[in-house]
Amino acid sequence: MTVPEIATTISYIWKEVLNVDEVGLHDHFYDLGGNPKLLDTMRLRLQLALKVDVTLVDLSRYPTVISLAQYYANGEVHPSPISESYRRAQRQRRLIAQRYPLRMHFVSAQT
């Protein structure tokens, strides 16, 4: 992804998490009303959206949309363990559904 694409994704998530209408590229997370709990929520959302490992240290080190986007665009980050686990779970679910179609129907009906 390019810096503008990543910045757009980050801005969108910040708007939702912080419940604000506008987020500028140079706005600081805490200046927009962020707090440690929201920072962790944002970390999880970014990790799922960007499919990279997002740490609280990274978010503290790069507290603006543009600085965070540039950091992730440089590609020095690792794939997210959450996204890999999710993909693995989806594959396992498909395989189980193929082998045991009635059992998966029962599991789906209970949820």
Domain ranges across the chain: 3-79, 81-111
Interatomic CA distance for residues 75 and 79, integer angstroms = 10
Task: Identify any residues that bridge with 64 across adjacent strands, giving them in sequence order.
Answer: 28
pTM value is 0.66
Closest to 58 in 3D by CA, of 70, 44, 71, 41: 71
Q: What is the mean pLDDT of the chain?
A: 82
Higher pLDDT, 89 or 77: 89
Per residue in 7-42, pLDDT (tens digit) is 999 999 999 999 999 999 999 999 999 999 999 999
In the DSSP assignment, the letter for residue 51 is T
Cα three-residue angle 20-24-29, rounded to 5 degrees: 65
- Asked whether residue 76 carries a pLDDT value surpassing 90, the answer given is no
Q: Supply the pLDDT for residue 69.
A: 93
Task: Report pLDDT for 26.
Answer: 95
Q: Locate tokens 């799922």: which residue?
A: 48
Domain 3-79: CATH architecture, name and number where available: Orthogonal Bundle (1.10)
Contact (Cβ atoms closer than 8 angstroms) between residue 69 and residue 103: no
Residue 51 CA, chain-centre distance (Å), reads 7
